[in-house]
Amino acid sequence: MQLEPLEAFAWRVPIGTVPGMRVPGVVFATDELARAIEGDNAIEQVANVATLPGIVEASYAMPDIHWGYGFPIGGVAATDPERGGVISPGGVGFDIACGVRLLRSELTLEEIDDLRGLVATLGAQVPRGVGEGGRVRLSRSETEKVLAEGVRYPLSQGIGWPEDEEFCEDFGVLQEALPGEVSDRAIDRGMPQLGSLGAGNHFLEVQVVDEVIDEHAANVMGLFRGQVCVMLHSGSRGLGHQVCTDFLKLVDAAMREEGIEVPDRQLACVPLGHEVAHRYLGAMHAAANFARANRHVLAHAVREAFESALGRSAREMGLHLVYDVAHNLAKMEEHEVGGERRRLCVHRKGATRAFGPGSEEIPGLYREIGQPVIIPGSMGTASFVLVGTDEPTAFASTCHGAGRAMSRTQAKKRMSGSELVKQLEGEGIVMAASKPRLLAEEAPYAYKDVSQVVDACEGAGLSRKVARLRPVGVVKG
Amino acid sequence: MSRSYELLEHTADVGILARGETCEEAFEAAAEGLAEILGAWFPGEGEERELRIEAADVDALLAAWLDELLYLAEAADAVFGDFHVDRVGQRELSGRARLAPRAGRELDGQHVKAATYHRLRVAEGEGGCEARVYLDV
């Protein structure tokens, strides 16, 4: 399947590419990324999403797009409940509200005498890997409180700093959550897992601000060149996975009753007015609250690790939260479509919300610059901090990361995990990986060039670069 | 034993194509594939647990069977010693899985989030039964 040039940094997947498309697909990419995308099944997935009932404007795809399941990874689709619009759990994914949190500090790298010791302490303090429980073991009723209150629950238990709530997307909690719609099985899975990193492509990195591109925005966020930061990537763990599994089944059944057909069963969907849609939205938001709380507790572990390793208080070291974003979520949002304000269900699957300056949905401090967007690069390569622009393209969405460029099998063939560790250590990056053998699956060469991805986002008006960060320490499950 | 499986390439995830003379055998092979991916395959270990799964159709049964095994592995912190599927119906499955405590063993496998419905297919023909599923890792 081929992409047709639309405008600078934008390509069209025309109606008719697959049967039943209601809108075109629009893929944001540089020329080089576009050529690579054409070799992947992702274009077919962009076209499939365009068949969803009530989809508005286009089936969008970010420059880091790659083959997913149902939705492409990097897909954005908004549906209108007033026009038969649907909600699709596949448009959120199994790792509900997986996302990224960035902490800054007042430290420069030179002030850290023993970086290897700091990374080792982080590795010891942050639960990671398969089968590892979290920092906090919750009872059933405590888990339900997390589902309802998000970061407010751990805050009420003395975990984290009060200001962390404001600097988290959705101010740390989605109020429309319905904890009662989260199954016992999902709660069973979540109870022992709060404050755990997970495995796969989840990670924690100690990073240094390498380059400041927008001085003013960086200043507002408290970022400066040479500054030590910590970025962590994790999600809703087994609880979120179970919520998606549970509702995929229910939505699949309800979809058949409604007589809706989709080209890929993972696109199972149900009209937003349907009872199952209401229940899924509530459960998904509850799982999102768990994900936010998870990253909140992990950040607390980071602060404690810094205190332990460096012998100073986290407050003194200025380990403040810059922002926390989700990149697997669906929310009801107001957007302008054809000159009219409409309330839409915006699915972002491997894509990040990027509200522009003036939005009341973002902290007051950031309203003059726009919403921060945290973009992790692949392991060992640069990460970026961006801001949303005042162009509401693709329902104010942008990329989420570098996006995979090859399969895990292909990645493992190129290099062994231990060779990769050696290579990254040789580049000055301290590595703490629980499973070196699987590391090659997450190697930088398995991903697209994140610089190209963020350039394409900037070129398309989706977001603007503020700072580039490079890793100096990596902790992985 | 005529059951077998192979892993399918995917950019971010992994697929299993399982085969057997019967659908029961294909489902057993798919489970074995999942256990291998998890690094949780320890043939002969553990105690049998009876399982009964219901789903909308036979394709969804395949996903539900693997999701049930994923749940058990996580909730019980267990590894797998064997799988036996007694019957794959149109909407229900009965079978047994042998589970053993992980007992602190480091599993040399990947974390699997769930079975997806992407390209989900159970096909029975003259040559036997083929079961295909993609997993979110």
Q: What is the ipTM of this complex?
A: 0.95
User: In the predicted model, what is the mean pLDDT of residues A13-42?
Assistant: 93
Contacts made by residues A151-160, CB under 8 angstroms, sequence distance 24+: A151/A289, A151/A292, A151/A293, A151/A296, A153/A293, A154/A194, A154/A293, A154/A296, A154/A297, A154/A300, A155/A296, A159/A296, A159/A297, A159/A300, A160/A296, A160/A297, A160/A299, A160/A300
The answer to whether residue A338 is domain-embedded is yes
Which of B54, B102, B136 to probe by mutation at the A interface, max A CB count within 10 Å? B136
Cβ–Cβ gap A70/B67 under 8 Å: no
The residue ranges of chain B whose pLDDT is under 70 are: 1
How many domains are there within chain A? Answer: 1
The answer to whether residue A414 is domain-embedded is no
User: In the predicted model, what is the mean pLDDT of residues A44-72?
Assistant: 96
**Other residues' Cβ atoms within 10 Å of the Cβ of residue A339:** 5
Cβ–Cβ gap B11/A241 under 8 Å: no
Q: Helix (H, G, I), strand (E, B), or coil: what is residue B75?
A: helix
The per-residue pLDDT for range A82-132, each reduced to its tens digit, is 999 999 999 999 999 999 999 999 999 999 999 999 999 999 999 888 767
How large a percentage of chain A has pLDDT more than 90? 84
Phi, psi of A148 (to 5 degrees): -85, -35
Q: Which among B13, B56, B59 has the least Cβ separation from residue A253?
A: B56
The answer to whether residue A423 is domain-embedded is no
> Which residue has 């302008």 as its token pair?
A336
A95 contacts on B by Cβ (under 8 Å): 113, 136
The per-residue pLDDT for range A370-420, each reduced to its tens digit, is 999 999 988 778 999 999 999 999 999 999 997 777 788 788 888 888 888
List the CATH number of the domain containing A261: 3.90.1860.10
The per-residue pLDDT for range A191-220, each reduced to its tens digit, is 999 999 998 889 999 999 999 999 999 999
The per-residue pLDDT for range A288-313, each reduced to its tens digit, is 999 999 999 999 999 999 999 999 99
The answer to whether residue A411 is domain-embedded is no
Catalytic positions of A, please? 400
The answer to whether residue A386 is domain-embedded is yes
The answer to whether residue A417 is domain-embedded is no
Mean of pLDDT over chain A: 95
* pLDDT of res. B18: 98
- The domain segmentation of chain B, as residue ranges, is 4-136
Q: Which domain holds residue A114?
A: 4-85+98-405+447-476
* pLDDT of res. A215: 98
Cβ–Cβ gap A407/B10 under 8 Å: yes
Side chain identity at residue A51, one-letter code: T
What residues of chain B, 13 to 72, have a C-beta less than 8 Å from chain A? 13-14, 38, 55-56, 59-60, 64, 67, 71
* pLDDT of res. A248: 97
CA distance A383 to A376: 4
The answer to whether residue A269 is domain-embedded is yes
Does the reported pTM lie above 0.90? yes
Alpha-carbon distances of A269 from A49, A324, A385, B86, rounded to whole Å: 11, 28, 33, 32
Residues written for chain B? 137
Listed in sequence order, the residues at least 6 apart from A406 whose beta carbon sits closer than 8 Å to its beta carbon are: A445, A446, B11
Q: Which among B10, B59, B117 has the least Cβ separation from residue A67?
A: B10
> Are the CB atoms for A170 and A329 separated by under 8 Å?
no
Specify which residues B92 forms β-bridges with.
B54
* pLDDT of res. A405: 76
CA distance B98 to B95: 10
A248 contacts on B by Cβ (under 8 Å): 117
The answer to whether residue A290 is domain-embedded is yes
Q: Helix (H, G, I), strand (E, B), or coil: what is residue A88?
A: coil
Q: Helix (H, G, I), strand (E, B), or coil: what is residue A359?
A: coil
* pLDDT of res. A363: 98
CATH architecture of B4-136: 3-Layer(bab) Sandwich (3.55)
Phi, psi of A344 (to 5 degrees): -120, 160
